Amino acid sequence: MNESIVLSFDGAVDVMATLSVLRVGPLDPVQVHDGGRVCRAIWVDGVAAVAQWRQVDERTAEVSLDTGPGKPTAAVDLEQFALNTLGAADDPSAFRPDDEVLRRLARQSAGARFGRHPTVSDVVVPTILGQRVTAEEAQRAWRRLVQDYGSAAPRPWPLRMPPRPQALAALPYYAFHRYGVDRSRAETIRRVSRELARRDDHTMSRRLETMRGVGAWTMSALRQRVLGDPDAPIIGDFHIPNAITWHLAGEARGSDQRMLELLAEFAGQRGRAQRLVMQLGGAPKYGPKRRISPIAER
């Protein structure tokens, strides 16, 4: 069954820019982008559904939930779901930097909002997969994990449902090795999945924060992508501090501490400032590229 709603926002809303942060690479089997449309397989109170967001005009979007032919409608307030996921509570116009370059980037990205995603598991698992490895490795591991432990999304959508936490919690750590995932990350996914098998929503974020293996990088990503916090910069990343210190201070190498010092002037909008600066590219590269290493060497 399909339900849809059309919403108009007070300011600009960019469907693609707002939801792209949830996509795990261009081949993500859970989320696809097609022109001005984003489709994502999502669990809603245990019901498999496909959410579709479609750009209507600069301030308007259509949002729908499809549980497939003959299936009951997902038990969700569709209007609130649409408002949350498209960042209705976020106000991009609150970001008013003094720097002309940032002002230009902010104008160009006026519709890119920080949305609130209803479930944690389908964001935290690929984030954990990305700990200490390259983006390519993490994306490949996620695709294969979804293929093996996800399920087909409601027809006729060519998507896969993200694996349920119960399924991942039941796996032994060595089952993850076939995806190039070392024991440390595998055990973290299993621990997190055991918790999320009980309740997979925003209330679990504080519990996850105290768990071994869920560090600052993972939690800052969740604050941005799940909780929709525009003041949450990504920390603990391999490349981001260098890019921020380079573009804001001309320093080719930086630390999280230095990056946060430079972002302090954007208090309340530090995550947005970081995203905008990252559009300018990375810092100058020195030395050999980081090598993709097989699991046997870790």
Range name among 69-83, 117-131, 281-295 with the lowest pLDDT average: 281-295
In a domain, 156, yes or no: yes
- Average pLDDT (25-34) is 96
Q: Model confidence at 61, in pLDDT bands (50, 70, 90)?
A: very high
In a domain, residue 271? The reply is yes
Are residues 87 and 133 located together in one domain of the fold?
A: no
What's the domain count of the chain?
Answer: 3
Same domain, 59 and 133: no
Percentage of the chain lying above the pLDDT 90 cut = 84
Q: Predicted confidence band at 35 (pLDDT cuts at 50, 70, 90)?
A: confident
Q: Of 66-70, 96-100, 241-245, 287-291, which range is least confident?
A: 287-291
pLDDT tens profile 146-198: 999 999 999 888 999 999 999 999 999 999 999 999 999 999 999 999 999 99
**Is the per-residue pLDDT at 296 higher than 60?**
no
What are the residues facing 65 on neighbouring strands? Answer: 3, 51
Residue 43 sits in a domain whose CATH number is 3.30.310.20
209 and 127 share one domain: yes
Closest C-alpha among 149, 84, 79, 121 to residue 208 = 121
Residue 96 has which token pair? 């008013």
Sign, Cα dihedral of 48, 136, 23, 257: positive
81 and 145 part of one domain? no
Name the one residue in this structure whose structure tokens are 């768990």.
Answer: 211
In a domain, 258, yes or no: yes
Tell me whether residue 58 is in a domain: yes
Same domain, 182 and 89: no
Which backbone phi and psi does 196 adopt, to 5 degrees? -75, -15
Domain assignment of residue 109, yes or no: no
| Residues 73, 130 share a domain | no
In angstroms, the Cα distances linking 268 to 231, 236, 273 are 5, 20, 10
DSSP 230-279: TT----S-SSHHHHHHHHHHS-SS--HHHHHHHHGGGTT-HHHHHHHHHT
| pLDDT(24) > 50 | yes
How many C-beta atoms surround the C-beta of residue 35 within 10 A? 8
Could you tell me the pLDDT band of residue 295, with boundaries at 50, 70 and 90?
very low
pLDDT at 203 over 80: yes
pLDDT in tens, 224-268: 999 999 999 999 998 999 999 999 999 989 999 999 999 999 999
**In this structure, are 10 and 33 located in the same domain?**
yes
6 and 84 in one domain? Answer: yes
Looking at the fold, whether 166 and 83 belong to one and the same domain comes out as no
For residue 74, name the pLDDT band (cuts at 50, 70, 90): low
**Percentage of the chain modeled with pLDDT above 70:** 94
205 located within any domain: yes
Residue 114 included in any domain:
no
Q: Which domain holds residue 248?
A: 240-278
Return all residues near 239 (Cβ < 8 A) that are at least 6 apart.
282, 283
Average pLDDT of the residues of the chain: 92
In a domain, 296, yes or no: no
CATH number of domain containing 211: 1.10.340.30
Dist CA 31 CA 38 (whole Å): 7
Q: Are residues 64 and 33 in the same domain?
A: yes
C-alpha 245, offset from chain centre: 24
Q: Are 259 and 213 in the same domain?
A: no
Query: Quick one: which H or E segment has residue 6?
Result: strand 2-8
Q: How confident is the model at residue 62 (pLDDT cuts 50, 70, 90)?
A: very high
Phi/psi of residue 81, each to 5°? -60, -45
Alpha-carbon span 230 to 253, nearest angstrom:
25
Residues 39 and 85 in one domain: yes
